[in-house]
């Protein structure tokens, strides 16, 4: 992969290094994001023209029915997809950087499976509602990530293949527990649990958008402030320490930020597979940047999830697949391509 050249912009005594190719790539992602959002807002059982979409968004629509559908159903769904995709793309960038492995993502290290365990326990054993289920999923996912982090710790280091392998082992164990819970419970509860496990953007409301947006906004400055630390960590702990950085503290802080981002996404839409795996890799390959694709990975995650949502709504034979199954299907194809591609790892 050819590395994108860097330029320096000077404003008086202030100088900022930037990469024109990365800037253009992010601009194209934003354009694609807007196009996909408009397509999703205009399509559905009630088709709307572009003029109607923009008129409704700025409060000048004259169709009350279209306004209700737009503001109460479609806009919350699209905004939830944008936040969830951005959170998963950014957390995937962090996990892949820390593990130094292309397979490092919330799905692979066990977070998603751990979140599913908490949700299944709430649904199958406690017959809890959606709020309790989401809270249990976030808590159990976070505890799983902490367990993987502690088990992967060796000496003063936690990254590398050890983190990925232990995450796979913990995830496999929890997956077995989840299966036992599903087959031993009531059929209706098992169906409800399977519906949550599929991941969905259906029936998203502003009560999903607002908490997800607040969580994402709170974690975002932390990630941006320590993005340079991730670049140093990729050079090795010894090099990072020689440059004056506390490698283990930075790694722990960024893992907590990634867990927080994944928690936000899981609470808002359930487990969404492969966005955290594919988005950072595609962003890095297409942008040509040697840096950790924190922002470009987030934008790519947004675009991928909106694209998957649009695809799920237009499957042939009127098949409306949950978004989690759609991303799993598309992500599986991408993972197979990644594994057979020469020099992927």
220: left (phi over 0), alpha (psi -120 to 50) or beta: alpha
Better pLDDT: 75 or 164:
75
**Predicted local distance difference test score (pLDDT) of residue 262:** 86
160 pLDDT band, cuts 50/70/90, is low
The number of residues in the chain equals 345
* Cβ neighbours, 10 Å, residue 193: 23
List pLDDT tens digits, range 184-222. Answer: 777 777 777 777 777 888 888 888 888 889 989 999 998
Contact 99/163 with Cβ under 8 angstroms?
yes
List pLDDT tens digits, range 275-329. Answer: 888 888 888 888 877 778 888 889 999 999 999 888 887 776 566 777 877 887 7
CATH superfamily label, 80-340: ABC transporter involved in vitamin B12 uptake, BtuC (1.10.3470.10)
Which helix or strand (DSSP H or E) is residue 59 part of? Answer: none
10 Å CB burial of residue 84 (0-12, 13-18, 19+) is buried
Please say if the pLDDT value at position 17 is more than 80.
no
DSSP annotation of 46: S
In angstroms, the first-to-last Cα distance of the chain is: 13
170 pLDDT band, cuts 50/70/90, is confident
DSSP annotation of 19: -
Lowest mean pLDDT of 2-16, 115-129, 200-214, name the range.
Answer: 2-16
List pLDDT tens digits, range 76-111. Answer: 999 999 999 999 999 988 888 887 777 777 776 777
Largest CA distance in the chain: 69
Structure tokens at 325: 């199954």
SS3 content of the chain, % helix, strand, coil (to 5): 70, 5, 25
Which of 107, 116, 263, 108 is CA-nearest to residue 177? 116
β-pair type (14-18, 7-11): antiparallel
* Cβ neighbours, 10 Å, residue 297: 30
What are the residue ranges spanned by the domains of the chain?
Answer: 80-340
C-alpha 18/C-alpha 271 separation (Å) is 35
Which of 118, 236, 105 is CA-nearest to residue 167? 105
Phi, psi of 199 (to 5 degrees): 75, 135
Region 63-71: mean pLDDT is 77
**Predicted local distance difference test score (pLDDT) of residue 301:** 92
10 Å CB burial of residue 103 (0-12, 13-18, 19+) is buried
78: left (phi over 0), alpha (psi -120 to 50) or beta: alpha
Contact 118/193 with Cβ under 8 angstroms?
no
DSSP annotation of 317: G
Question: Considering the chain, what is the average pLDDT of its residues?
Answer: 79
Look up the pTM and report it: 0.84
């Amino acid at each position: 992969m050819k590395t994108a050249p860097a330029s320096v912009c000077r404003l008086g005594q202030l100088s900022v290094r930037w990469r024109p190719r990365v800037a253009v790539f992010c601009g194209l992602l934003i354009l694609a994001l807007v196009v996909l959002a408009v397509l999703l807002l205009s399509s559905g059982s009630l088709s709307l023209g572009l003029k109607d979409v923009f008129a409704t968004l700025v409060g000048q629509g004259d169709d009350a029915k279209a306004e209700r559908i737009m503001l109460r159903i479609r806009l919350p769904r699209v905004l939830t997809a944008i936040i969830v995709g951005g959170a998963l793309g950014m957390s995937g960038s962090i996990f892949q950087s820390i593990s130094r492995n292309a397979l490092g993502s919330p799905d692979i290290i066990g977070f998603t499976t751990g979140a599913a365990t908490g949700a299944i326990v709430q649904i199958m054993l406690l017959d809890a509602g959606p709020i309790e289920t989401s809270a249990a999923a976030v808590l159990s996912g976070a505890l799983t990530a902490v367990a993987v982090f502690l088990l992967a710790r060796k000496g003063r280091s936690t990254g590398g293949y050890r983190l990925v392998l232990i995450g796979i082992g913990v995830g496999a164990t929890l997956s077995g527990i989840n299966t036992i819970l599903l087959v031993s419970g009531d059929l209706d509860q098992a169906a409800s649990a399977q519906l949550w496990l599929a991941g969905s953007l259906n029936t998203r409301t502003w009560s999903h958008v607002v908490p997800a947006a607040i969580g994402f906004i709170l974690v975002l400055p932390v990630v941006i402030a320590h993005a340079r630390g991730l670049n140093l960590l990729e050079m090795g702990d010894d090099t990072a320490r020689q440059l004056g950085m506390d490698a283990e503290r930075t790694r722990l802080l960024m893992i907590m930020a990634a867990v927080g981002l994944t928690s936000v996404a899981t609470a808002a839409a359930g487990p969404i597979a492969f966005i955290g795996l594919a988005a950072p890799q595609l962003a890095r390959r297409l942008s040509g940047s040697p840096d950790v694709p924190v922002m470009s990975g987030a934008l790519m995650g947004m675009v991928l999830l909106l694209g998957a949502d649009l695809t799920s709504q237009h499957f042939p034979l009127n098949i409306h697949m949950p978004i989690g199954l759609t991303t799993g299907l598309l992500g599986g194809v991408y993972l197979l391509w990644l594994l057979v591609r020469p020099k992927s790892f």
